[in-house]
Each structure stands twice: as C-alpha cells, then as structure tokens.
Amino acid sequence: MAKHYPVPGFRFAVNLSGASASGTDKSYDASFQEISGISVEIPTEDIQEGGENRFIHRVPQPIKYPNLILKRGMVVVKSEFANWVKSTVETGFAKPLVLRNIIVTLLSEKDEPIMSWTFEKAYPVKKEVSGFGADKNQLLVETIELAFQRFEENR
C-alpha cells in the first residue's frame, strides 16, 4: 500500500488487554462492524479582562474525550471482551470495576497493522441491543460504549 494515499477504514481489529504494564493479557475480538468516538477536544473558557473591553482571553480547559462506541451484530458465542462487559454492566458494582486497555488496529488488505489507537483504563458505561421488529429483516445489533482515561495514536 502506498504511503501517500488515504487508508481505507473498513478493516480493523479490537484487542482487549489488562491495564498492567506488561501487556501480556491480550484477547483478540474482531467481530465489530463499526467503531466511533476516536476524538479528543481541548475546550476553552472565554475570560473577559476587567476594564479592557477589546480583548477576550481564551483559556484551555482539561482535555475531553467522548465515549468509544463499538457496534457489532449480536452473537451467541462468548468472548473475553463480552464477559468483561457483562461482568461490569450487569452486576451493579457487586464486583470491583476492572479497567482494561483497548487497542483498535487499522489493518491493510493483507491484515498487516497500518496504525493503532490505545485507549487506556477503559471500562464499559453502556450496553444496548437494537430493537426487535417482526416486520423487519435486520440483524440484531449490540452497541457498547466505553469510557477511558486517554488515548494514544500509534503510526
């Protein structure tokens, strides 16, 4: 693949790893059909200087990240990722919250990594299943939202 052309965004993989520094606990889960929320924003606050009406100072605020949103067709087969989400959102904090690192890897047509994003200290905050409809011929879609501390892009 030529390095000067935009890369396609339809081949990707998701890895779930522990929040430990060793990174040896990894589980591959490639069944997602869509990923969104890879975004970062530095909000600003406008402060008007007293006595000086010509200027407004724009002061940076803490960085904001939206939730990472993963969508996939609902499957019956369980994975480590599915078990982690289930044990987090369905137990009502009966168990301690387990933070994990999520690695999203963009793949070439030969399944070679092009670039990746590591979402640190992530945890599920929402799980949704699409509605049922007897008059529709659609797949059942599961949507999982993850909050995270920060992300890093790797090229």
- Residues 101-114 have pLDDT tens digits of 999 999 888 888 99
Query: What's the confidence (pLDDT) of residue 36?
Result: 96
Instruction: Considering only CA atoms, give the Rg of the chain.
Output: 20
What angle is formed at CA 12 by the lines to CA 7 and CA 18, rounded to 5 degrees? 130
Query: What's the confidence (pLDDT) of residue 143?
Result: 95
Q: What is the torsion angle, in degrees rounded to the nearest 10, for the CA atoms of residue 117, residue 122, residue 125 and residue 126?
A: 40
Low-confidence stretches of the chain (pLDDT beneath 50): 1, 19-26
Query: What's the confidence (pLDDT) of residue 2?
Result: 54
**C-alpha span between 99 and 18 (Å, rounded):** 7
To the nearest whole percent, how much of the chain has pLDDT over 70?
A: 89
Residue ranges and CATH numbers for the domains of the chain are 12-154 (2.30.110.20)
Q: What pTM was computed for the model?
A: 0.82
